[in-house]
Amino acid sequence: MSLPFLPYALPDIGEEEIAEVVDALRSGWITTGPKTARFERDFAEFLGGPGLHAVAVNSATAGLHLALEALGIGPGDEVITTTHTFTATAEVVRYLGADVKLVDIDPATMNIDPAAVEAAVTPRTRALIPVHYAGLAADMPALLAIARRHGLKVVEDAAHALPTTSGGQFVGTLGSDATVFSFYANKTITTGEGGMLVTRDEVLARRAKVMRLHGMNRDAFDRFTAKVPSWYYEVVAPGFKYNMTDVAAAMGIHQLRRAHVFQQKRAAIAARYHEAFAGLPLITAPRPGPGELHAWHLYALRLGSRVDLHRDAFIERLFELGIGCSVHYIPLHLQPYWRERYALQPAQFPHSQQAYERQVSLPIYTRMTDADVERVIAAVRQALGA
């Protein structure tokens, strides 16, 4: 009898999350309110850095947009980021009328290459967005040093990186201006849709809170729960509709409590993959340095140069064997909008291009059983003809 198809990713939702969501529904407060405020406090405490402000939003895209807006990025400015990312990292720059400068990756880590960043800085460059690819921290000491030398703002795209460390500190507590996390359905913790902007800059946090809800200087929770008539508010800027709901935050409260357990389960799967694929003509996923935490949002395997099989055919074989997988990412320099706007060519990004052509993301999620992991390993071996 054939086994059921093993999906690429599934969320891990427990009874605690369900009960908290039900409590939110029964409370009568389902938009931004007490549970969102609690999730923000819990998140800042989880990271543990002094003076952190956490601002809950409805997506990491929203958080990146708010952070750049609060930093004053606008027309005439340039922002550097990696080509090897999802389009959201770059599109938020265009929302503000600024230009994107894409650079290549370090092939050893798949993260943005600091040397390429240094070479890309121009008099127009105002900010840098490093992406912690797959949950492995980018080289933040080098990137922050470049930013200091050139007077650049730094907004970390940490959509993959909870919990991840750099130099023994959690991503989110480093020396950047802001860090943005994602809680999309397949991320290391989920609220279905959602994100969190984290910063030590009180002015930036205050601006983000105003702009996440139409530029109003008081949100509904403040106005509708006051003990005295408190209906008055002022619109102080043309804001956005980026607030997180209490229904989503209710999930996040309990997902966050399980974040370390989730990381340990993902790391155990990654370790099993490393061991199983060591003797095959494959490049296993980059690992963290000693003592560092890797969130293992992705396990991105690369076909080695001795593999004659095309990446697309490899994926088709895995699907035929009942294994879901994906590719992270189709680099931005290959996407029509970015390619045409900036006249980009693959030769400008050789490491990202080569990775893309040989890369496959395997299932790595906490609901996988040992038998599921062994199925993936067996399928990879079979697809390679090993």
Residues carrying an active site annotation:
187
Structure tokens at 195: 């994100």
Closest CA to 40 of 224, 195, 160: 195
In whole angstroms, how far apart are CA 235 and each of 71, 210, 213? Answer: 20, 9, 10
Q: How many CB atoms lie within 10 A of CB 48?
A: 11
Write the CB contacts of 180 (distance below 8 Å, at least 6 apart in sequence): 60, 63, 64, 67, 155, 156, 157, 158, 159, 195, 196, 197, 198
Closest CA to 117 of 80, 144, 89, 149: 80
Three-class secondary structure of residue 109 per DSSP: coil
- Which alpha helices (H) appear in the chain, and where do they start and end? 15-27, 34-47, 60-70, 88-95, 114-120, 140-150, 202-211, 220-224, 246-257, 259-277, 311-320, 336-342, 350-358, 370-384
* CA distance linking residue 61 with residue 240, whole number of Å: 12
